[in-house]
């Protein structure tokens, strides 16, 4: 993703003043304390029926009355940051600052009137999945959330347009950095996932999800970070043009798009097999041509850097008096 470079002074101007963050956090904590005795209700039209709900965060709620009373709900199409504590971090943000934006997402959801539809199917946690286009667009447009699917497919085009605009204007969670992927959930291998433990990474470009499978056992409050590979894109562009001019590839190189060729060049800089070929017969000549460019230094270098992080806390230790110390 192309990023808008801004002077550090401008980024400091975008960062909330420490006193302002403190005041808002105090207010949010007070609000949380009030919820035990007075639950704020929001009007949401669920399959056309006006229904009071309680938003526990920016992308989930509990139905307060009617035939679905007591059921939990999860929004489809977008994701707001975790609001159980200061756990997210990327760019120049601190975890406490991103915690404030997570709470802002909750307040934005509570203050609106939304329209949601569902076939009443449920996710792995038993929550009903709802599609709420007006809420989704509002959260993403304000920079309080990001577009997301739980598959390799991209998010809806309308939500991605709203997200690109929010990113360009550095709204909300994008004000102090735009990672390639946001780490939205993490799990320790001792949680009982039968060897299929994974963390979820969501693309900030098109909203698709990737599962980061691992066998790590995390300690409570450990900072888990996803990494991304940075390339010299100018060098890759030059390498792509060089491939198109290579006589030995002339018979088939026109069948590859610029994006496919850049992808093939990137694989030469990281320890992965050459993939993305339209025809297996092209492997040998393309491999040789790409290796020659790499060995001559014509592709630049690839560097792994920290992209986004998330503090690990097991679900049972996220809430209540016995919650993990790093959440306070």
As beta bridge partners, residue 303 has 230
pLDDT per residue as tens digits for the range 282-324: 999 999 999 999 999 999 999 989 999 999 999 999 999 899 9
- pLDDT at 124 (0 to 100): 80
- Which residues constitute the domain of residue 284? 233-300
pLDDT band at 37 (very low <50, low <70, confident <90, very high): very low
Instruction: Reply yes or no on whether the pLDDT at 33 is more than 70.
Output: no
- pLDDT at 84 (0 to 100): 95
| 189 found inside a domain | yes
pLDDT per residue as tens digits for the range 170-193: 999 999 999 999 999 999 999 988
- pLDDT at 15 (0 to 100): 52
Handedness of CA 319, 15, 225, 233 (dihedral sign): positive
- pLDDT at 270 (0 to 100): 82
Say which CATH number the domain at 77 has. Answer: 2.40.50.90
Q: Are 159 and 140 in contact (CB under 8 A)?
A: yes
pLDDT per residue as tens digits for the range 102-160: 999 999 999 999 999 999 999 888 899 999 999 999 999 999 999 999 999 999 999 99
pLDDT band at 162 (very low <50, low <70, confident <90, very high): very high
As beta bridge partners, residue 225 has 309
Say how far apart CA 169 and CA 194 lie, in whole Å: 43
| 51 found inside a domain | yes
Q: Quick one: 174 and 274 in the same domain?
A: no
| Rg of the chain, C-alpha, whole Å | 23
Count CA atoms closer than 13 A to 10's CA, side-chain side. 8
Instruction: Reply yes or no on whether the pLDDT at 32 is more than 60.
Output: no
Q: How many domains would you assign to the chain?
A: 2
Q: Quick one: 181 and 237 in the same domain?
A: no
Q: Quick one: 57 and 186 in the same domain?
A: yes
Say how far apart CA 99 and CA 81 lie, in whole Å: 8
Say how far apart CA 226 and CA 305 lie, in whole Å: 9
By CB atoms closer than 10 A (0-12, 13-18, 19+), residue 316 is exposed
The residue length of the chain stands at 328
pLDDT per residue as tens digits for the range 46-101: 999 999 999 999 999 999 999 999 999 999 999 999 999 999 999 999 999 999 99
pLDDT per residue as tens digits for the range 190-219: 998 877 999 999 999 999 999 999 999 999
Instruction: Reply yes or no on whether the pLDDT at 36 is more than 70.
Output: no
Q: Quick one: 54 and 150 in the same domain?
A: yes
Q: Quick one: 166 and 271 in the same domain?
A: no
Q: Quick one: 81 and 210 in the same domain?
A: yes
* Residue 291 CB partners (closer than 8 Å, separation 6+): 268
- pLDDT at 271 (0 to 100): 67
* Number of C-beta neighbours around residue 147 at 10 A: 29
Instruction: Reply yes or no on whether the pLDDT at 265 is more than 60.
Output: yes
Q: Quick one: 275 and 247 in the same domain?
A: yes
Say how far apart CA 220 and CA 188 lie, in whole Å: 9
């Amino acid at each position: 993703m192309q990023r808008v470079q801004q002077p550090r002074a401008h980024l400091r101007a975008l960062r909330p003043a420490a006193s302002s963050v403190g005041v808002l956090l105090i207010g949010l904590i007070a609000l949380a304390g009030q919820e035990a005795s007075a639950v704020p209700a929001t009007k949401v039209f669920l399959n056309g029926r006006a229904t009071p709900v309680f938003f526990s965060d920016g992308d989930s709620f509990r139905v307060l009355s009617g035939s679905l009373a007591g059921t939990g709900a999860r929004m489809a199409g977008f994701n707001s940051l975790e609001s159980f504590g200061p756990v997210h971090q990327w760019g120049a943000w601190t975890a406490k600052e991103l915690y404030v934006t997570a709470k802002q997402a909750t307040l934005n959801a509570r203050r609106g009137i939304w329209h949601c539809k569902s076939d009443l199917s449920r996710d792995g946690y038993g929550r009903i999945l709802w599609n709420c286009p007006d809420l989704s667009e509002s959260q993403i447009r304000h920079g309080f959330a990001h577009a997301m699917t739980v598959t390799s497919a991209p998010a809806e085009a309308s939500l991605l347009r709203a997200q690109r605009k929010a990113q360009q204007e550095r709204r909300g969670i994008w004000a102090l950095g735009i990672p390639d992927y946001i780490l939205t959930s993490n799990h320790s291998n001792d949680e009982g996932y039968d060897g299929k433990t994974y963390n979820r990474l969501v693309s900030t470009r098109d909203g698709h999800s990737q599962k980061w499978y691992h066998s790590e056992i995390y300690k409570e409050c450990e900072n888990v970070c996803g990494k991304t590979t940075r390339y010299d894109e100018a060098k890759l562009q030059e390498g792509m043009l060089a491939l198109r001019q290579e006589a030995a590839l002339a018979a088939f190189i026109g069948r590859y798009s610029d994006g496919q060729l850049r992808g093939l060049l990137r694989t030469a800089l990281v320890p992965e097999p050459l993939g993305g070929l339209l025809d297996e017969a092209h492997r040998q000549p393309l491999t040789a041509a790409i290796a020659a460019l790499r060995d001559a230094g014509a592709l630049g270098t690839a560097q792994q850097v920290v992209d986004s992080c998330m503090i690990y806390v097991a679900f049972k230790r996220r809430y209540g008096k016995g919650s993990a110390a790093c959440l306070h």
